[in-house]
């Protein structure tokens, strides 16, 4: 009995010691804190609008089994307002000996020192000069210091807590001058370096590193991949990864102890892309070199770094036959939660129901059916156009996808100076399908007809080389632009976040007005 008690006692001591060692290990696990502006963390750090900061990815370069990463950067802040808004204080209070603080400010420090909009500017340079103001934005009296003064304060506060600061120069903007990216060595980058050297802390010239990489890649390849054309300051996911890669490189090149936590072969994961599927007939599909549907050029208006666009439309199909031939099932099997489905049918639904090509659907929105008997002793139960459209909507929503119904594009049929609509038939029923089943609706029939009327009959005639239904590439491009603009106005659907219309496209077609 005594022997059993002795073994039990020894086991208890061993378990207690193991527990203490584990707790000590967890307690000693350092944290890497990031402070900065939107180029370090954009928005909530969830990639809204496709914009990311390098701080959202730096953790993928570090061994997070040995070190924690906390990104406290906030968009719109300067070295001054990050402190005056109280954002630095909780970070400072959390710091433990052996923690790290990565610091990057400068993009917003050049703004006005005192205004009623942002009041975030700092005095240029690294000196001790200051300016007394009654802050027009906050209503408080404030002493404003230099950029260098604020950076120096963060460094000193961190050191007082036993933490290890690292200072970065601000990433470059996507501005170009004869193939070169301007540096900020004579402003915020240079001032950040000066303060870091004076305080004897690690400095990473992120501005120079990234500008050099951008020049090697080239302006044409940088814009649209690492930065968006619409924004020269904030990076895409790939741009953020590039910046994070260079931060990690700078850490590795330094004598800073943080380099011991760098992964030897980091596996970088970019955000998963969503999928946009398009189903429809030949006015949407890729047909041949002469006849082109709007689904062919539509991908130029999507952010394809964040979404894949799959045009599954097929010429000659109706809402009925796209299902009957198994084309819809293949799309449905591929749909995932968060994807989008664009649906446009109608051109072929008015065909024969019980004669070759057997593609017509019953008119309207009802539940009536017609049984069609084929020569090989098989039958098909045919439903209304509205029934088929609602089935597409219901089944897409069951998969967690967002269905968007577009009324069919108008034919090149005119009555006087007006293009013929089908707003008493298929366009009407398409809208009613959405009203009854859910999803979103785009009145493409009316919006394109209106654009045709602005351009005039003679110009529009050039878009239809064979008949009054199918467009050439130029017509498809115009229609795709109308689709993109319509989707960009579709509130609540989520798809507008992935649409981008270049400035030179925003007024396309206006020059062809009558």
Catalytic residues: 38, 231, 234
Q: Alpha carbon of 136 to those of 87, 113, 132, 142, 410: distances in Å?
A: 20, 10, 12, 10, 55
Neighbours of 451 (CB within 10 A): 22
3-state percent helix, strand, coil for the chain, nearest multiple of 5:
40, 15, 45
Distance from C-alpha of 417 to C-alpha of 514, rounded to nearest angstrom = 11
Residue 36 to residue 191: CA distance in whole angstroms: 16
Strands of 299-443, DSSP E: 307-311, 340-344, 370-373, 379-382, 402-406, 414-415, 418-419, 440-442
- Identify the CA nearest to 512 among candidates 448, 474, 456: 456
Closest CA relative to residue 125, chosen from 23, 213, 195: 195
| Alpha-helix residue ranges (DSSP H) falling in 438-513 | 444-455, 457-461, 473-488
At residue 362, φ and ψ (nearest 5 deg) are -70, 145
User: Do 122 and 113 meet the contact criterion of CB atoms below 8 Å apart?
Assistant: yes
Work out the angle between the directed axes of helices 188-198 and 147-160 (0-180°, nearest 10): 40
- Exposed/middle/buried for 28, CB within 10 Å: 0-12, 13-18, 19+? exposed
Return the structure tokens found at 333. 């099997």
CB neighbourhood size of 130 (10 A) = 13
Alpha carbons within 13 angstroms on the beta-carbon side of residue 234 total 21
Kindly state the helix (H) or strand (E) to which residue 131 belongs, with its residue range: strand 131-134
Exposure b/e, 357-379, CB count within 10 A at least 16 = b? ebbbbbbebeeeeeebeeeeeee
C-alpha distances (whole Å) from 185 to each of 105, 154, 193, 485 are 14, 21, 9, 41
Burial zone of 459 (CB within 10 Å; 0-12 exposed, 13-18 middle, 19+ buried): middle
């Amino acid at each position: 009995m005594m022997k059993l008690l002795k073994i039990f006692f020894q086991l208890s001591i061993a378990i207690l010691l193991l527990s203490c060692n584990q707790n000590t290990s967890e307690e000693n696990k350092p944290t890497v804190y990031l402070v900065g502006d939107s180029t370090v963390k954009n928005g909530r750090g969830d990639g809204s609008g496709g914009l990311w900061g390098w701080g959202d990815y730096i953790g993928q370069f570090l061994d997070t089994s040995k070190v924690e990463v906390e990104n406290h950067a906030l968009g719109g802040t300067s070295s001054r307002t990050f402190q005056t808004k109280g954002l630095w204080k909780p970070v400072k209070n959390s710091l433990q000996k052996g923690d790290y603080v990565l610091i990057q400010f400068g993009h917003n420090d050049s703004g006005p020192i005192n205004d009623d909009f942002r009041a975030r500017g700092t005095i240029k340079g690294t000196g001790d000069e200051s300016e007394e103001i009654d802050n027009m934005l906050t209503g408080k009296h404030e002493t404003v210091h230099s950029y260098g003064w604020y950076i120096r304060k963060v460094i000193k506060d961190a050191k007082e807590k036993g933490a290890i600061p690292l200072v970065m120069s601000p990433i470059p903007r996507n501005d170009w001058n004869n193939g070169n990216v301007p540096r900020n060595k004579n402003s915020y980058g240079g001032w950040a370096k000066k303060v870091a050297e004076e305080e004897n802390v690690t400095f990473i010239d992120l501005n120079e590193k990234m500008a050099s990489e951008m020049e090697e890649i080239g302006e044409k390849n940088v814009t649209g991949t690492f930065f968006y054309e619409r924004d020269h300051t904030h990076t895409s996911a790939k741009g953020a990864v590039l910046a994070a890669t260079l931060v990690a490189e700078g850490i590795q090149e330094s004598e800073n102890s943080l380099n011991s936590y760098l992964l030897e072969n980091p596996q970088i994961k970019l955000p998963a892309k969503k999928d946009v599927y398009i189903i429809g007939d030949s006015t949407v599909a890729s047909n041949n070199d002469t006849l082109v549907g709007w689904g062919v050029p539509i991908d130029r208006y999507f952010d394809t770094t964040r979404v894949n666009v799959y045009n599954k439309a097929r010429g000659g199909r109706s809402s009925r036959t796209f299902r009957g031939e198994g084309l819809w099932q293949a799309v449905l099997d591929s749909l995932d939660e968060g994807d989008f489905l664009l649906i446009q049918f109608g051109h072929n639904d008015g065909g024969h129901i019980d004669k070759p090509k057997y593609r017509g659907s019953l008119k309207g929105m009802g539940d009536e059916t017609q049984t069609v008997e084929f020569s090989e002793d098989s039958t098909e139960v045919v439903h209304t156009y509205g029934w088929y459209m609602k089935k597409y909507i219901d089944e897409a929503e069951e998969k967690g996808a967002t269905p968007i119904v577009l009324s069919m594009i108008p034919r090149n049929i005119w009555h006087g100076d007006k293009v013929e609509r089908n707003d008493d038939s298929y366009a009407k029923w398409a809208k009613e399908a959405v009203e009854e089943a859910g999803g979103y609706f785009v009145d493409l029939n009316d919006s394109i007809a209106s654009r045709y009327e602005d351009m005039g009959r003679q110009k529009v005639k050039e878009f239809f080389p064979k008949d009054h239904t199918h467009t050439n590439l130029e017509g498809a491009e115009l229609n795709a632009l109308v689709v993109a603009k319509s989707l960009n106005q579709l509130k609540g659907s989520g798809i507008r976040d992935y649409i981008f219309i270049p400035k030179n496209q925003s007024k396309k077609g206006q020059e062809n007005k009558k």
